[in-house]
Amino acid sequence: MKLLIRILITSGLVMLIAHFMPSVSVANFKTALIVAVVLGLLNVFIKPILVVLTFPVTILTLGLFLFVINAIIILLCSNIVGGFRVDSFWTALIFSVILSVCQSIVYKIVGEEK
């Protein structure tokens, strides 16, 4: 049940953020649900590999390179899911930061702790 709530929250936030960012577009709520699922899968399977491969750079940048990895995950999701478009790397970076902050706030309100 918690997973379903997380997917619904993430898809709602993706729709909301895409509404306010002109360089991000989501076709409909069904697409946002697919984006939430694909983002979850990419974060589970691809992100740990990227983190391990870029560990020296992450150490040198004091962890700030993780933002770049998050942006890469968003761009991968944009390439995988039809109907979800992110124009540039910088847009993906801003989108990922806003999404992470909003998820933290909403999960705190709802009571879903990581």
pTM, rounded to two decimals: 0.92
pLDDT at position 1, please?
A: 84
Write out residues in the chain with pLDDT < 50, as ranges: none
Helix ranges, the chain (H): 2-20, 29-45, 47-53, 55-60, 65-80, 89-110
pLDDT at position 106, please?
A: 94
pLDDT at position 111, please?
A: 83
H or E segment to which residue 24 belongs:
strand 24-26
Cα–Cα distances in Å, from 23 out to 20, 46, 50, 92, 110? Answer: 9, 25, 25, 9, 29
